[in-house]
Chains A and B, each alone.
Chain A
């Protein structure tokens, strides 16, 4: 079984500007994945399918992740002049890391009994640049799962034969699995409210506390 490093190496030879990046997984399972640039994603999947040693032939799972914008605090030591002397002062710099959406594909090779091979793709942002290439023309089984990712996260798959909502109705406008999704205000009757539900119920009744 080839390692992910070897795949990146092989792909780098045959794909120009492959834009591949190995992503480590600090959790106990340690399952690593390859972050792929959307432009070379289809080529990489075809390469892994046609490779004699890897030979992926089964797409097990497609899922999405929402990474909202976040502020990363970084402590930097800066030299400043204090009372005529140069001193090192610790400063906190706040970096605004832009949000993006991510699709994750899990491939297996049934013939070689290997896998999962995990590939990731990221969008430019969460609002405008949300188009990614669809894998459905290569792996038919991605059809419904990409529709599900589209339905719940709002990622548009270019080249998908039938990109419609699959769980929610067509008139629905939100993307329920996004972190900033707020569910509809139907909190009229909550007999045992606690935590988030209590907050929502209180907001529904505007200060008329039903928890007491």
Chain B
């Protein structure tokens, strides 16, 4: 294993050294293909990001895929209603590993301004794991780009070996999550209790 000092010294002499892990993650993080689906007004900002003015193509992520089978990233852009939640979870389940989720906007992370609505899911992280949350109503395109770069950093840090290796390399980590069913009064179950634990509120 080369240390960073030697690596930098070699690169000054015109010798590029890398590891398999590094080049594998470099390739992955520069070709994140998002799933092309939007739920509400945040989707308009997501579309703006993909177009010429904000140009997500600079990050290698302009290829919005119409099929979950070809997508690496799900951008939950908008209010998730309880009627829509099973479909969102099913789409997530159909994506191949490694897969990532960005919860975009106030609605996707908590229910947002519609939180007390009878038909609004209070955050998509009740059913599927979320990698990056973006606040905003809706978030600026720059915020989504920032989320992308955060996700790229996260992918770049992922290990392929050892204790803390990436979830998609481990067979004991779940890759699919339970799809909620429509019930008489609410979704059943109302949340994935293994995946989502309500955060403890600490007040001074």
A interface residue numbers (CB < 8 A to B): 167-174, 176, 181, 183-184, 186, 188-189, 191, 196-197, 210, 212
Q: Given the complex of chains A and B, what is the CA–CA distance between A209 and B87 in angstroms?
A: 35
B interface residue numbers (CB < 8 A to A): 83, 116, 118-119, 122, 182-186, 190-191, 198-199, 201, 203
Q: Is the CB of B184 within 8 A of A172?
A: yes
Task: Choose one: A169, A183, A188, A210; the contact of B118 (CB below 8 Å).
Answer: A183
What are 9 sample pairs from A and B whose C-beta atoms fall under 8 A apart? A167-B83, A171-B183, A173-B184, A176-B119, A183-B118, A186-B186, A186-B191, A188-B198, A189-B201
Q: Is the CB of A171 within 8 A of B198?
A: no
Q: Given the complex of chains A and B, what is the CA–CA distance between A170 and B182 in angstroms?
A: 8
Q: Given the complex of chains A and B, what is the CA–CA distance between A13 and B199 in angstroms?
A: 68
Q: Is the CB of B201 within 8 A of A172?
A: no
Q: Is the CB of A197 within 8 A of B116?
A: yes
Q: Is the CB of A174 within 8 A of B116?
A: no
A206 CB to nearest B CB, Å: 15
Contacts A169-B83, A171-B184, A189-B199 given: A176-B118 contact, CB under 8 Å?
A: yes
Contacts A189-B122, A189-B199 given: A184-B116 contact, CB under 8 Å?
A: no
Task: Choose one: B116, B182, B184; the contact of A183 (CB below 8 Å).
Answer: B116
Task: Choose one: B186, B198, B201, B203; the contact of A184 (CB below 8 Å).
Answer: B186
Tell me the nearest residue of chain A to B203, going by C-beta: A212
Main secondary structure of the interface of B (DSSP, over half): loop
Task: Choose one: B118, B191, B201; the contact of A181 (CB below 8 Å).
Answer: B118
Q: Given the complex of chains A and B, what is the CA–CA distance between A197 and B119 in angstroms?
A: 16
Using Cβ atoms and an 8 Å threshold, which residues of chain B touch A183? 116, 118
A169 CB to nearest B CB, Å: 4
Q: Given the complex of chains A and B, what is the CA–CA distance between A197 and B122 in angstroms?
A: 13
Using Cβ atoms and an 8 Å threshold, which residues of chain A touch B203? 212
Q: Given the complex of chains A and B, what is the CA–CA distance between A168 and B82 in angstroms?
A: 9
Q: Given the complex of chains A and B, what is the CA–CA distance between A169 and B185 in angstroms?
A: 10
Contacts A171-B184, A189-B198 given: A184-B191 contact, CB under 8 Å?
A: no
Extra A-B contacts (19), CB below 8 Å, given A172-B185, A183-B116, A188-B198: A167-B83, A167-B119, A168-B119, A170-B182, A171-B182, A171-B183, A172-B182, A173-B185, A174-B184, A174-B185, A176-B119, A184-B118, A186-B122, A186-B190, A188-B191, A189-B199, A196-B116, A210-B201, A212-B203
Q: Is the CB of A169 within 8 A of B116?
A: no
Using Cβ atoms and an 8 Å threshold, which residues of chain B touch A184? 118, 185-186, 190
Contacts A186-B122, A189-B122, A189-B199 given: A169-B182 contact, CB under 8 Å?
A: yes
B182 CB to nearest A CB, Å: 4
Q: Given the complex of chains A and B, what is the CA–CA distance between A168 and B187 in angstroms?
A: 11
Top-4 shortest CB links A-B = A184-B186, A188-B198, A189-B198, A169-B182
B47 CB to nearest A CB, Å: 25
A168 CB to nearest B CB, Å: 7
Using Cβ atoms and an 8 Å threshold, which residues of chain A touch B83? 167-169
Q: Given the complex of chains A and B, what is the CA–CA distance between A196 and B116 in angstroms?
A: 10
Q: Given the complex of chains A and B, what is the CA–CA distance between A127 and B203 in angstroms?
A: 45
Tell me the nearest residue of chain B to A192, going by C-beta: B201
Q: Given the complex of chains A and B, what is the CA–CA distance between A209 and B35 in angstroms?
A: 41
Using Cβ atoms and an 8 Å threshold, which residues of chain A touch B119? 167-168, 176
Q: Given the complex of chains A and B, what is the CA–CA distance between A168 and B203 in angstroms?
A: 37
**Residue of A170, A184, A210 with most partner-chain B CB within 10 A:** A184
Q: Is the CB of B201 within 8 A of A191?
A: yes
